[in-house]
Amino acid sequence: MRTYDSFFLKSAVLMKPERNIDAQRISDKAVSEVGQGIPLSAIGGKNSTFLSAFTLLEVLIALALFGLVMAGTIEVYIMCNKVWHATSLSMDTSRMASLAIQRMVYGLGTNCGLRSAASISVNTNVHKDGCSTFVNYWDTTAISPPAANNDSVNTFCPYTSPPLNDGSWRIVMSNAFDGVKWIDYIKQQRSIVFWQNTTQPASRMSVCNYVINSTVSNTLEGITIELTVWKKDGMFVSSNQASMFVKKRNN
Model confidence pLDDT, tens digit, residues 96-142: 999 999 999 999 888 889 988 888 999 888 777 666 678 899 988 88
Distance separating alpha carbons of residues 216 and 40, to the nearest angstrom: 95
- pLDDT, position 118: 87
Q: Say what the pTM is.
A: 0.71
Distance separating alpha carbons of residues 118 and 75, to the nearest angstrom: 58
Look at residue 29 and tell me if it is in a domain.
yes
Beta bridge partners of 172: 121, 182
- pLDDT, position 14: 45
SS3 of residue 171 by DSSP: strand
Domain assignment of residue 28, given as a range:
1-39
Task: Based on the fold, state whether residues 91 and 13 are members of the same structural domain.
Answer: no
- pLDDT, position 247: 86
Residues in the chain with pLDDT < 50?
Answer: 1-4, 6-16, 31, 34, 40, 43
Look at residue 46 and tell me if it is in a domain.
no
Look at residue 4 and tell me if it is in a domain.
yes
- pLDDT, position 9: 43
Contact between 240 and 93 under an 8 Å Cβ cutoff? The reply is yes
Look at residue 67 and tell me if it is in a domain.
no
